[in-house]
Structure 1
Amino acid sequence: MTYPIRVRACALILRDDSVLLVEFTDANGVHYNLPAGGVEAGESIIEAVIREAREEAAADVEVGPLAFVYEYAPHQSDHVYGATHSVHLIFDCKLKEGAVPAMPANPDPNQTGVRWIPLSELHRIVLYPNLRKQIADYAARRTGTPVFFEEHQLDKYPLPSS
């Protein structure tokens, strides 16, 4: 069965005023993502968060509350990330005792690192989707009702020059 909206499970791992991000280098340069990916058939969203944190950052996590929700609707965002409509459920996660994030044994293509980025430095990196402000705001409050964001409401990056 095909679904019109892809569900993505994301781990927001905050520690010591930093956020754990997966680093990629490709034709667009260096950019970062939260450990995240699509929920697979027969898998719960929480199971997907745990699997994705392990697959992308070699990190064993405990999944906490939903931090916020992000929607990418291609028709509202000039198809900036392609044609697949997606909803990202971003959970506040904690590393399990003894867990040390690292490059996984089988990294994604173009993955070049797993990095702790200080929240005070988020404005200096490229993060896809551009949830830098939302992550910093969440880290400051860490309580309350989850917030819903749509791609077309986020700040835009300048287009790369040819």
Structure 2
Amino acid sequence: MREAKEEACVDVEVGPLAFVYEYAPHLNLKKFGDTHTLVMMFECKRKEGSIPKLPPTPDPHQIGVKWLPIEELQNVQLYANMGNHIQEYIINRRNIDLLEEHKLGQ
């Protein structure tokens, strides 16, 4: 809830764990830096009446906030490259144990 509010000024209801993502610098030629990262991503639903927008002080690399149909996700470059995993989750509603950056492909 905090991240959605912080990054997109939107209120969400948090559901089940959808993904665990790991970035290990030594397995990825440090392409995203030196910090080993483990992220838990949850299925969330936007609360009725809550409209996503840029926060008053956005991340310096953040250029906008946009809600889009899941079918358009393939046209968006994501960090990490997991758009197809997100689409598969939406269709099958099954958890994926661990997504490792060095196994995601380009």
Is TM more than 0.5 here? yes
Secondary structure at the counterpart of residue 81 of structure 1: coil
User: 1:51 Cα shift?
Assistant: 1.3
| Corresponding residue of 1:152 | 102
| Contact 1:66/1:146 (8 A) holds in 2 | no
Q: Over residues 120-141 of structure 1, what are the superposed CA-to-partner deviations in whole Å (9 max), with x where a residue is unaligned?
A: 2222221101111111111111
1:77 aligns with 2:28: yes
Q: Over residues 21-79 of structure 1, what are the superposed CA-to-partner deviations in whole Å (9 max), with x where a residue is unaligned?
A: xxxxxxxxxxxxxxxxxxxxxxxxxxxxx111111100111111000111001111111
Q: Which has the higher contact order (CA 8 A, sep 6+)?
A: 2
Secondary structure at the counterpart of residue 114 of structure 1: coil
| Corresponding residue of 2:8 | 57
Q: Distance in 2 between matches of 1:81 and 1:148?
A: 18
User: 1:119 Cα shift?
Assistant: 2.1
1:131 pairs, out of 82, 94, 99, with 82
Q: Distance in 2 between matches of 1:130 and 1:152?
A: 10
Equivalenced residues, count: 106
2:48 alignment partner AA: E
User: 1:98 Cα shift?
Assistant: 1.6
The structure richer in helix per residue is 2
Q: 1:30-45 residue pairs with structure 2 within 5 A?
A: none
Q: Distance in 2 between matches of 1:86 and 1:57?
A: 21
2:79 alignment partner AA: Y
User: 1:116 Cα shift?
Assistant: 1.6
| Corresponding residue of 1:88 | 39
| Contact 2:52/2:67 (8 A) holds in 1 | no
| Contact 2:89/2:95 (8 A) holds in 1 | no
TM-score (norm 2): 0.91
Q: What RMSD over aligned residues (CA atoms) do the two structures have, in Å?
A: 1.3
Q: Unaligned regions of 5+ residues in structure 1, if any?
A: 1-49, 157-162
| Corresponding residue of 2:72 | 121
